[in-house]
């Protein structure tokens, strides 16, 4: 396995996964204004991290395809992905729990999965998923012997 290609590929997929996790409440909660208040209630909006994750997709892809110097791309990917992770964690920690509970219902989604279980765990899942691009960026930098 060539880690010089596998690491940025993982980074691309993981960065897109961050954005995908950010869209989940829009599919689970019918009220768009409630989702907007959910995302706006923390210290920072996680959409800032989502935007940086999308930039990270471009950085990872440019380094993988040698359109940018791989060492430069790996360094930029490390910086971007760490910021994505920090924004996600800061938001997850600062969202008021009572706001999250106001958004929950026992409406079944799929089997035992309800909107309550999805929304109550959403912010923590986002924080966990946001670790993966940072890990991929670290792996990419290590494969280039920058670390």
Model confidence, pTM: 0.93
Find, among 73, 76, 56, the residue nearest to 11 by Cα: 56
| Tens digit of each residue's pLDDT (9 = 90 or more) over 6-28 | 999 999 999 999 999 999 999 98
Average pLDDT over residues 19-41: 92
| Tens digit of each residue's pLDDT (9 = 90 or more) over 44-57 | 999 999 999 999 99
Q: What is the 3-state secondary structure (H, E, C) of the chain?
A: CCHHHHHHHHHHHHHHHHHHHHHHHHHHCCCHHHHHHHHHCCCCCHHHHHHHHHHHHHHHHHHHCCCCCHHHHHHHHHHHHHHHHHHHHHHHHHCCHHHHHHHCCCCEEECCEEHHHHHHHHHHHHHHHCHHHHHHHHHHHHHCCCC
CB 64 within 8 A of CB 53: no
Q: What's the full length of the chain, in residues?
A: 147
d(CA 58, CA 22): 18
d(CA 60, CA 54): 10
């Amino acid at each position: 396995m060539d880690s010089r290609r596998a690491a940025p590929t993982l980074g691309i997929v993981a960065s897109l996964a961050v954005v995908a996790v950010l869209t989940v409440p829009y599919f689970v909660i019918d009220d768009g204004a409630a989702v907007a208040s959910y995302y706006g209630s923390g210290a920072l909006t996680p959409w800032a991290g989502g935007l940086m994750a999308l930039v990270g997709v471009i950085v990872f892809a440019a380094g993988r395809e040698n359109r940018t110097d791989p060492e430069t791309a790996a360094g930029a990917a490390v910086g971007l992905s760490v910021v994505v992770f920090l924004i996600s964690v800061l938001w997850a920690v600062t969202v008021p729990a009572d706001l999250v509970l106001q958004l929950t219902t026992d409406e079944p989604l799929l089997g035992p999965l309800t909107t309550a279980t999805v929304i109550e765990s959403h912010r923590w899942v986002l924080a966990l998923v946001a670790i993966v691009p940072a890990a991929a960026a670290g792996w990419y930098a290590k494969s280039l012997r920058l670390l």
